Amino acid sequence: VTAPPPPPSRTPPLRLGLGLRLRVRLSVGVWNSVVRNPPPARGGTMSRIGVLRIRSQMGTWRVKDIDGAMTVRELMDRVATEKSLSLSENERLCASPSGSDPLPLDAGLASLNVKHGDMLYIMLTEENQVAHEEAKAPRKVDADGNVRAQEYADGAGRRGFRPGMLPLRAMKMQWTLTDFLDMDARFVFKMKRQEDAACAGVDMETNVARDFQQALRQTAFQQCRVGYLYGTFTDDNKVKVKCLYEPPQRGTAVDVELLEDPREDTVEKLAALLGLRRVGWIFGHPPREEGFHFASPEVFMAAEQQLEAAGGIGDTPFVTIKVTCNAEGLASVEGFQVSKQCMEMVAEGALEIGENPGDCAVNETFTAIVEGKEAKEVNNNFFLINVAISQYEADDMVYSFPVANREELGTTQGQPDLRAQIESAGKQGWCVAQNLTLTRSLSLTLNPKP
């Protein structure tokens, strides 16, 4: 019997597997040690930091390629150069937002343990904040060939939804065609004449109108003058004027400047005690060319007064009375209101006082359509509505006491005037209510000067 041949010789699998695993583990360990802890390289690259963040009132800046050997002073000089700043001694880099621990100027960043991604802080002066904003602004070449920072208004007309407005995306991210059209319609005014005034008519006390004309005649109608009318509104939307108050003012042949009035509140309170309210205003001016009724400031004054009386854009009987004279020297007294569209345009800022006094300029943000065409100006007569005036004589009023605030016209108030007014009551005298009511222009009860 022959014995079977021996099995072929081979290396035990356990020993080979163990050696392979040992070699793989050794290779991975060496690789990790090299990658995670690289050996020092020549040239000092171990001092390289990378990126630092600098926070100021203007935001956070990233400063790249920072070397650990760089000093704090050198870092500040670099920030000043990149951000167009002029740093003073009090503007220092600090490790904390409070600014209580400024870093030494001559110390190296590596010695201060500053690492990649660290945040440093600096408090800038107002001048540097402005300089930084101007440096970020786009540049433009002016008419003299100088390059300067472009102001907001220079680019707003191109980028904004309308001149002076933000871009659409800055208002909201998504717009539909309906949204856009509704938005645009808010800034477009199609000019329409208003045929009927909210005021049905004015009953003007004869002596009030006559006395205001007399003040204008003292300057031969060559000086503008204004006053406030007090009375009542009737149930049928009429105005009944009973007295007048002229505030302190300085008039010229072109316009009038209203001065500060220390008695303004007193006038309003006194009128309220008498059951009166401000129902209109009156102005006088030198003769003008035919068809020129209101200057732009007078349109604005009328609109603002109506807005105040109506508490917004709405109907009100508040009236404007205009007094002037013609070429023959005959005085004319006319009543007006401005249209609700004019009130709305003034309230929205769509109108401005332009170079031509007979027209109101249209703000560039808005569009005015006149007879189907865009117009940069709107004639003032387009806003005016005539109001009928009738006169009456009040049987409970006396008109002999001098009007206040007419010193520049030579009219003063004194004790003789007060004595004459009191003596005019006769033996019957006046009660307190009568004494308050029987006055012209509220002048008697406004503390006459001795």
Average of pLDDT values for 397-403? 66
pLDDT in tens, 245-258: 999 999 999 889 99
CB 97 within 8 Å of CB 125: no
Residues 420, 400: contact at Cβ < 8 Å? yes
The contacts of residue 363 (CB under 8 Å, 6+ apart) are 164, 349, 350, 351, 352
pLDDT band at 360 (very low <50, low <70, confident <90, very high): very high
d(CA 279, CA 232): 7
Using the predicted structure, report yes or no on whether residue 281 has a pLDDT greater than 70: yes
Nearest-5° Cα angle at 23, 17 to 24: 90
In whole angstroms, give the CA distance from residue 309 to residue 277.
10
127, 85 contact by CB (below 8 A): no
| pLDDT reading at 417 higher than 80 | no
Residue predicted with more confidence, 44 or 253: 253
Indicate if the pLDDT at residue 170 is higher than 90: no
pLDDT band at 11 (very low <50, low <70, confident <90, very high): very low
Whether 167 has a pLDDT exceeding 50, the answer reads yes
For residue 93, the model assigns a pLDDT of 92
pLDDT value at residue 68? 87
**More confidently predicted of 54 and 443:** 54
Select from 194, 197, 193, 218 the least CA-distant residue to 320.
197
pLDDT at 28 over 90: no
pLDDT over 50 (residue 265) = yes
pLDDT of residue 6 exceeding 70, the answer is no
Question: For 108, which DSSP code?
Answer: B
Whether the pLDDT of residue 352 is over 80: the answer is: yes
**Count of all residues that appear for the chain in the document:** 450
Choice between 399 and 359, residue whose per-residue pLDDT is larger: 359
Q: Give one DSSP letter per residue of 40-58, joined into a string.
A: PPTTSGGGEEEEEEEEETT
Comparing 235 with 128, which gets the higher pLDDT?
Answer: 235
User: How confident is the model at residue 346, as a pLDDT?
Assistant: 94
pLDDT of residue 33: 43
Mean pLDDT, range 110-115, rounded to an integer: 90
Q: With contact defined as beta carbons under 8 Å apart, do 67 and 47 qualify?
A: yes
Q: Convert the pLDDT of each residue in 320-337 to its tens digit.
A: 999 999 888 889 999 999
What pTM was computed for the model? Answer: 0.61
Quote the CA–CA distance of 275 and 281 in Å, as a whole number. Answer: 18
Are 406 and 245 in contact by the 8 Å Cβ rule? The answer is no
β partners of residue 50: 66
Q: Which of 82-96, 143-157, 192-206 has the lowest mean pLDDT?
A: 143-157
Q: Three-state DSSP class for 168?
A: helix
* Cα–Cα nearest to 280, from 229, 322, 324: 229
What amino acid is encoded at 331 in this protein? A
